[in-house]
Chains A and B, each alone.
Chain A
Amino acid sequence: MKEIVNNSEALCEFLKKMIIETLKLEGVTIEGIDSNVPLFRKGLGLDSIDALELVVAIEKIFNVIIEDEEVGKKAFASINALAKFIQKKYKQGK
């Protein structure tokens, strides 16, 4: 996991796959997700229950905790933002 976290490109790819699998998004491909658009509402169109499921998946996989909406707003701003958030917290946790 460490190698993936340290490689931004691989991490973004991993996160897209994780989102598609965790939320069982039909008709969405890794290539179809723009790394810069918001994950919620206007962007990928995810909702509040999706956020809760992603939070649990991220905690399980990376041992990184997103406590609430306030932290989530920054973390889920885009795939790139989420990757940066995980990289930062992952290092702090080590």
Chain B
Amino acid sequence: MQWIETEEVVRFNEVDEWGMAWYGHYMAWFEVGRLSLLRRFDLLPKQMVYLGYIAPVISLRCDFKSPAGSGDRIVIRTTVVKPEVAALTFKFEILLKENRTLLAHGETTQVLLTTNKKMIYRLTGELEKRISNLVNYCLQKSTTPPFRAGLEKRK
């Protein structure tokens, strides 16, 4: 499975009273990863709208493994699962850049609607072409190293 990686830095205003990145921000980081992947395949939200579609998220899951702190450099890894139905499922991993420790991983699922808000049950035409390019890319063998589990987070 091929993942694309995007880097971010945890901002001072993103940590809570306990010095840990607030849980809701992980969803914003997922979004950063999603957009960098979609950009490569001309599937950015506005490009989808141009084709006549929108793709609202209908489910979201996130498991938190180790807290990120202010100033941490993080790597957001994103990929897409081969779809069995006309929906898009993204997988995400958030790692600490310095030693690739897994901080969190999660998943979102989006269904596809026409801009008139009618759900589509099958992919056709240009949308199908672009989504299958995206899926085929993600099905390739990974060229980035996986995360490392069970490490001490900081030296």
Taking beta carbons and an 8 Å cutoff, which residues of A are in contact with B?
A: 47-49, 51-53, 55-56, 65-72
A82 to chain B, nearest CB (A): 14
**Residue contact B109 to A52, C-beta cutoff 8 Å:** no
Q: In the bound complex, do residue B58 and residue A67 qualify as a contact, i.e. CB atoms below 8 Å apart?
A: no
Looking at B58, B84, B85, B118, the one whose CB has the most chain A CB atoms below 10 A away is B85
- Of the candidate stretches B7-15, B119-127, B141-149, the one touching chain A is B119-127
- A48-B58, A48-B111, A49-B109 known; A55+B122 contact, CB < 8 A: yes
Question: Using an 8 Å CB-CB cutoff, how does the interface string of B109-135 with A read, 1 for contact, 0 for none?
Answer: 101001000111110000000000000
- The answer to whether A51 touches B109, judged by C-beta atoms less than 8 angstroms apart, is no
A49 touches B111 (CB 8 A): yes
* Complex CA distance for A56 and B122, rounded to whole angstroms: 9
Are B118 and A52 in contact, with the CB atoms below 8 A? Answer: no
23 A-B residue pairings within 8 Å (CB atoms): A48-B58, A48-B111, A49-B59, A49-B85, A49-B87, A49-B109, A49-B111, A52-B85, A52-B87, A52-B121, A53-B84, A53-B85, A55-B122, A56-B84, A65-B122, A67-B120, A67-B121, A67-B122, A68-B114, A68-B119, A69-B119, A69-B120, A72-B121
Cα(A47)–Cα(B114), bound, Å: 18
The 6 nearest A-B residue pairs measured at CB: A52-B85, A69-B119, A55-B121, A69-B118, A68-B120, A48-B111
Instruction: Give A65 to B118 CA distance when docked, in angstroms.
Output: 17
Q: How far is it, in angstroms, between the C-alpha of A51 and the C-alpha of B122 when the chains are bound?
A: 11
In the bound complex, residues from chain A placing their C-beta under 8 Å from that of B119 are 48, 51, 68-69, 72
If A48-B58, A49-B111 touch, whether A56 touches B120 (CB-CB below 8 Å) is: no
Asked if B49 is at the interface of the complex by the 8 Å CB criterion, the answer is: no
Contact of B86 with A by CB under 8 A:
yes
